[in-house]
Amino acid sequence: MPDRDTVTGDGYILLFGMPRSGTTWIGKLFDSHPDVLYRHEPDSWSPLAMPRDPSLDDAADHARELQEFVARLPDIRAQRVAGKRPLFAKAYMSTPRARLMDVGVEFARVVSRFYPDFPVLFHVNARRYADRRIVWKSINSLGRLGTALTVLPEARGVHLLRHPCGYIASVNRGLAGNSFSSANSNSEDYGIFAAVEGTPLGERYGIAIDRMKTLTPVERLAWRWVLINEKAWRESRDAGRYHCVYYEDVCRAPETRLRALFDACGLSWNEQTADFVARSTRSARSGYYSVYKDPEISAWRWREELDADTVEKVMAIVARSEIGAPYMTMQPPAEHAR
C-alpha cells in the first residue's frame, strides 16, 4: 500500500502539458533545484491503465492506481525516467555518490541500446531526505490532471501551455523530421474527441467525431489544443494547488517567472537554478528535444513556419475558448515580430 505522503501527494509536483509545449525545458529547470527528485515522463515508460482523459466524476475509481503509481516514482531506475540529462548536484546526494550515479546513467544509456530500460546503477531515491520534492513531468497525463489533484489532495499541479500555433508548428516539424516514436499524426488521434463528446465541454463546442473527421489536420490539432487544455483547466482551477503557466511568459522573463513558480510550489530560489536558467537560455544546441535554446526564438519560431491562412484557421478555433483568450492579444517582442 502507498504511504501517507503518496496517498495525499504531499511533496509531489505534477508538471503536465501537451507534447511540444516546452515541458522538457521547464522540467529541467525544476530538476535543477537541489531538493528535487525528477521523473521524466514515467507514464510513457510505464503507461497507466486509466483513460488519458477520464471524467472527473470517476476520480474515485482511479484513486488507487494513481496513488500506487506515484508511490513507485522514487524507485524507478530506468535511464529515460531517472537519468534524463543534464544532471544536477543534489542536497540529498554526496559528491562521490553523484559521480557514481553519473557513471551509472551513462552506462545505462549505452546498454539500453541492447537491453531496453536497463536500470541506472547507483541510483538514489532520497526517501530519507525530509525536504525532497518529487516532480512528475508528463506529456501524456494532462487530461488526467483534474483527477490526479482530486485523489492526491496535497499535490501541486503545474499546467504548461504553449501558443497553439507554436504547438502545431512544432508537431509538424517533428513529423517532418521523424522525431516521434510513432508515425501516426496527432491529428488522427480521436481519443480526446471521444472523451468529450456528449459531455458539457463537448456540447459547449459542438464536438462530434463524425464532424471532426471532416476537418483538416491543422483544424483537428487546434481543437485538440483547445479541448485537452480546457479540460485540464476547468477540472483543476478550483483545487487551490493548480498553477497555469504560459510558456511564452517564461520565455520572456525566465528567472522572474520561474522564481514566482518555485515560490508557488514551495521551492526556494537557489544559485544552481539561476546558473542553469542563464546557461540554457544563452546558448543553443542542435536537437529537436534540446533544452539549450534561445527561449524567445523558440517560442515565436512558428511565425516563420506557418502561413497566414493556417494561422487564421487555428486562431478562429482558439478564439472560441476561454483557455486560449490570452493568446488572442499576446504579441511577440519587437525583435521577433515580422
C-alpha cell read off for 53: 482523459
Instruction: Please determine, for residue 194, whether its predicted confidence score (pLDDT) is greater than 90.
Output: yes
pLDDT digits (tens, 9 = 90+) for 291-338: 666 888 888 999 999 999 999 999 999 999 999 999 999 988 866 555
Is the CB of residue 270 less than 8 Å from the CB of residue 34? yes
pTM of structure: 0.93
Using a pLDDT cut of 70, give the percent of the chain over it. Answer: 91
Among positive and negative, which fits the CA dihedral 38, 41, 46, 50? positive
Mean pLDDT of 125-133: 96
Is the CB of residue 232 less than 8 Å from the CB of residue 143? yes
Instruction: Please determine, for residue 287, whether its predicted confidence score (pLDDT) is greater than 70.
Output: no
Confidence tier at 101 by pLDDT (50, 70, 90): very high
Instruction: Please determine, for residue 166, whether its predicted confidence score (pLDDT) is greater than 90.
Output: yes
- Average pLDDT over the chain, rounded to an integer: 91
pLDDT digits (tens, 9 = 90+) for 231-268: 999 999 998 999 999 999 999 999 999 999 999 999 99
Note the CATH architecture for domain 4-336.
Answer: 3-Layer(aba) Sandwich (3.40)
Close Cβ partners of 54 (under 8 Å, ≥ 6 residues apart):
62, 143, 144, 147, 195
